[in-house]
Amino acid sequence: MTLTSATDVAVRADGVVLRYGRTTALDGVSLSLGTGVTGLLGPNGAGKTTLLRVIATAVRPDAGSVSTFGHDALRGPGRLAVRRRLGYLPQDPGFHPSFTAFEFVDYVAILKELTSRSARHAEVRRVLALVGLDSVRTKRIRALSGGMRQRVALAAALVGDPALLILDEPTVGLDPEQRMRFRELFADLGEDRAVLLSTHQTEDVMSLCREVVVLDQGRVLFTGTPTDLAGLAAGRVWTSDSRVPGALASWRTGSGAYRHVGDPPPGAPLLDPTIEDGYLTLVDLHTAEAQR
Ligand SMILES: Nc1ncnc2c1ncn2[C@@H]1O[C@H](COP(=O)(O)OP(=O)(O)OP(=O)(O)O)[C@@H](O)[C@H]1O
């Protein structure tokens, strides 16, 4: 089942708060997700996984609301209706190592209520083919490489053709070719469904995402396009022949010139900012504000 237009709102979260004991992992998060791939960026511990778990209905927040496809995703029959339309790739999928790839995905398909055996097996073959695992479907998971296991987990998330896909760092551990294949697949999937992708790979966000949300310390710092995020560092990236103490980041590039992000000295030759520069600038400004 897919969304029908770019303006459809798949998920609307409002004022979501979640605490683990004394740690406030989400501190009033509001966002809306439509068709296309939305990237979720943020430093370690920002609350990305927790937010994905809330949207995937794996955990209930302490406060706030989440509406998915118009259903209340936090309680009542709406929660089940939402579960039937989402696919979730968690950070640690918890494979049973002696299952084959086919058996694992088939097991997930059973949990997803695909009861007819022949239709279910056809669906398992479809998703394994989508992620390019056709030829190893009878191999045990313990014998697969980390990248292949990641693809098995993605295939499991794709069972039943969900209209909302929630992917937690799906390209971790993949080689460049595999990462490219995943990007192609995510771009295709995002054409007619909502894909929420948590990642530390800023290049994935730049090349794939229609929108990017930056979380820090459980709060949304930024929502906009990847180009807007890069634009936050406009006028703040420059080059010189030597290291500059006090810059936010400063390193010698392969060509021998230094590249800096921060407050440039007057007249410094400026460079075009990347999304990484924008992200660094945003998080640094937020940290400085929080310390004031
Ligand atoms: N089960 C838990 N019990 C206690 N604290 C937790 C638990 N899960 C997460 N936290 C804390 O909640 C905060 C947010 O964690 P979360 O895993 O959501 O961040 P993240 O942005 O996904 O981090 P990373 O990029 O490192 O995966 C952190 O301070 C983390 O230590």
| One domain, residues 5 and 79 | yes
Ligand 1, atom 3, lies closest to the CA of 20
User: Which residue from 17, 19, 50 has its CB within 8 A of the most atoms of ligand 1, so it is best to mutate?
Assistant: 50
Q: What is the per-residue pLDDT for 93?
A: 80
Q: Which of 48, 214, 216 to mutate to test the pocket of ligand 1 (most atoms within 8 A of CB)?
A: 48
Same domain, 243 and 257: yes
What is the model's pLDDT at position 224? 96
Let me know whether 8 and 113 are in one domain.
Answer: no
Is residue 61 domain-shared with residue 180, that is, in the same domain?
yes
Q: Say if residue 285 is in the same domain as residue 239.
A: yes
Rounded distance from Cα 105 to ligand 1 centre (Å): 27
Q: Which atom of ligand 1 is nearest to the CA of 51?
A: 18
Report how far residue 164's alpha carbon sits from residue 68's, in angstroms, rounded to the nearest whole number: 9
Handedness of CA 208, 212, 214, 220 (dihedral sign): negative
Which residues form the domain of 108?
94-160
Question: Do 79 and 168 share a domain, yes or no?
Answer: yes
Q: Ligand 1 pocket: which residues have CB below 6 Å? A: 20, 23, 25, 42, 44-50
Q: What is the DSSP code string of 179-229?
A: HHHHHHHHHHHTTSSEEEEE-S-HHHHHHH-SEEEEEETTEEEEEE-HHHH
ipTM of the complex: 0.98
144 and 35 in a common domain: no
Tell me if 38 sits within 8 A of 196, measured CB to CB: yes
Same domain assignment for residues 2 and 80: yes
8 and 65 share a domain?
Answer: yes
Residues 167 and 79 in one domain: yes
* Each residue's pLDDT expressed in tens, for the chain with a length of 292 residues: 445 444 478 999 999 999 999 999 999 999 999 999 999 999 999 999 999 999 999 999 999 999 999 999 999 889 989 998 999 999 888 888 889 999 999 999 998 888 899 999 999 999 999 988 988 889 999 999 888 898 999 999 999 999 999 999 998 878 888 888 889 999 999 999 999 999 999 989 999 999 999 999 999 999 999 999 999 999 999 999 988 887 888 888 998 899 999 999 899 999 999 999 999 999 888 877 777 7
- 284 plus 140 within the same structural domain: no
User: Distance between CA atoms of 18 and 63, rounded to whole angstroms?
Assistant: 7
Which of 18, 23, 92 has most ligand 1 atoms within 8 Å of its beta carbon, as the pocket-test mutant? Answer: 23
- pTM value is 0.92
Same domain, 112 and 170: no
